[in-house]
Amino acid sequence: MGTEGQLIMGAVAYDPKVVSIWDGFQKYFRARDLDFDYVLFSNYEKQVEAHFQGLIHAAWNSPLAWLQSERAAKALGRRAEAIVMRDTDMDLTSIVLVRADSGISGLAGLKGKRVAVGASDSPQAKLIPLNFLAEKGLRPNADFTVIVFDKLVGKHGDHIGGEREAARALMNGEADAACILDGNRLGFARDGTISSSATRVLAQTPPFDHCNFTVLDGAPTGLISRFRDLLLEMSYANAEVRPLFDLERLKSWLPGRTRGYAQLSAAVDRFGTIDSFVKGVAAQCK
Amino acid sequence: MQIDVDLGPLGFLEGGHLLIKRALRNAGAGKSITVTGTSPELEIDLRSWCRDEGHNLELRPRNGEQTTRAAIVNGGAEAKRWTGAQRAGQADAAQTDGVVSHAPRRWGLAARGATVEAGSPEFDFHLVDKIEVWADDAARLYAQAVAAQWDPRTAIPWDAKFELDDDVEDAIVQLMTYLIENETAALIIPSRFIAQLHPHFREVMQLLAVQAADEARHIDVFTRRGLMKRDHLGLSTIGGQASLKTLVDEPEFAIASFLLSVLGEGTFLSLLWFIERYAPDPVTAAVAKLAAQDEGRHVAFGIAHLTQHLNNDSSFRVRLADSVRRRHDALQHTAGLNAEVFDALVLLAAGSWDPGDLRRGHQRVMDLTKEMDEGRQKRLRRLGFSEQEAAEISSLHTRNFM
Domain ranges of chain A: 7-89+209-285, 94-204
Distance from the Cα of A217 to chain B's closest Cα (Å) equals: 31
For A89, A183, A197, A251, B396, the CA distances from A248, given in Å and listed in that order, are 11, 15, 29, 9, 62
pLDDT at B340: 87
Mean per-residue pLDDT for B251-274? 94
ipTM for this model: 0.91
pLDDT at A2: 43
Would the CATH topology of B3-80 be identical to that of B130-396?
no
B contact test, residue of A87, A205, A235 with most B CBs within 10 A: A87
Given a cut of 70, is residue A1 above it in pLDDT? Answer: no
Would the CATH topology of A7-89+209-285 be identical to that of A94-204?
yes
Q: Give the B window 54-73 contacts with A, CB below 8 Å.
A: 54
Does an H or E element contain A95, and which? Answer: strand A94-99
Distance from the Cα of B92 to chain A's closest Cα (Å) equals: 28
Which residue type is seen at B227?
A: L
Nearest Cα residue in chain B from A190: B13
Mean per-residue pLDDT for B357-364? 96
The hierarchical CATH code for the domain B130-396 is 1.10.620.20
Residue of B13, B52, B75 lying closest to A196 (CB–CB)? B13
**A23-74, pLDDT tens digit by residue?**
999 999 999 999 999 999 999 999 999 999 999 999 999 999 999 999 999 9
Given a cut of 90, is residue B338 above it in pLDDT? Answer: no
Given a cut of 90, is residue A119 above it in pLDDT? Answer: yes
Rounded CA-CA distance A224/A263 in Å is 28
Distance from the Cα of A123 to chain B's closest Cα (Å) equals: 17
Helix pair angle (B266-278, B339-350), 10° resolution: 40
Per-chain mean pLDDT for chain A: 95
What is the CATH T-level fold of the domain B3-80, as seen in this structure?
A: Translation Initiation Factor IF3 (3.30.110)
**Is B41 within 8 Å of A92 when comparing Cβ atoms?**
no
Which residue type is seen at A230?
A: L
Q: Is A2 exposed, middle or buried (0-12, 13-18, 19+ CB in 10 A)?
A: middle
Where do the domains of chain B lie? 3-80, 85-122, 130-396
Mean per-residue pLDDT for A149-172? 90
Choices 3.60.21.10, 3.40.190.10, 3.40.250.10, 2.60.40.1760: CATH for A7-89+209-285: 3.40.190.10
Given a cut of 50, is residue B151 above it in pLDDT? Answer: yes
Sheet holding A253-255, edge to edge: A36-41, A7-12, A58-61, A212-216, A80-86, A253-255
**B52-75, pLDDT tens digit by residue?**
999 999 999 887 788 999 999 999
**B270-279, pLDDT tens digit by residue?**
999 999 999 9
Distance from the Cα of A129 to chain B's closest Cα (Å) equals: 15
Rounded CA-CA distance B24/B21 in Å is 5
pTM of the model: 0.83
Interior/surface letters B204-231, b for 16+ CB within 10 angstroms, e for the rest? bbbbbebbbbbbebbbebbbebbebeee
Residue B217 φ/ψ, nearest 5 degrees:
-70, -40
Q: Does B370 touch chain A (CB under 8 A)?
A: no
Given a cut of 50, is residue A255 above it in pLDDT? Answer: yes
Sign of the CA dihedral running B231, B237, B238, B240: negative
Rounded CA-CA distance A241/A12 in Å is 20
**Is A201 within 8 Å of B41 when comparing Cβ atoms?**
yes
pLDDT at A277: 97
**A77-108, pLDDT tens digit by residue?**
999 999 999 999 999 999 999 999 999 999 99
Residue A44: strand, helix, or coil: helix
**Is B75 within 8 Å of A200 when comparing Cβ atoms?**
no
Cβ–Cβ pairs < 8 A, chains A and B: 69
* Pair B96, B108: CB distance under 8 Å: no
Nearest CA among A285, A263, A257, A269 for reference residue A81 = A257
Distance from the Cα of B223 to chain A's closest Cα (Å) equals: 47
| Residue B152 Ramachandran class (φ > 0 left, ψ -120 to 50 alpha, else beta) | alpha
Given a cut of 50, is residue B370 above it in pLDDT? Answer: yes
**Is B40 within 8 Å of A200 when comparing Cβ atoms?**
yes
Residue A4 — very low, low, confident or very high, per pLDDT cuts 50/70/90? low
Cα B143–B208–B129 angle (5° rounding)? 105
Residue B310 — very low, low, confident or very high, per pLDDT cuts 50/70/90? very high
Mean per-residue pLDDT for B45-57? 96
* Domain boundaries A94-204, CATH class: alpha beta
**A204-240, pLDDT tens digit by residue?**
999 999 999 999 999 999 999 999 999 999 999 999 9
Q: Does B387 touch chain A (CB under 8 A)?
A: no
Above pLDDT 70, what percent of chain A? 99
**Is B80 within 8 Å of A236 when comparing Cβ atoms?**
yes
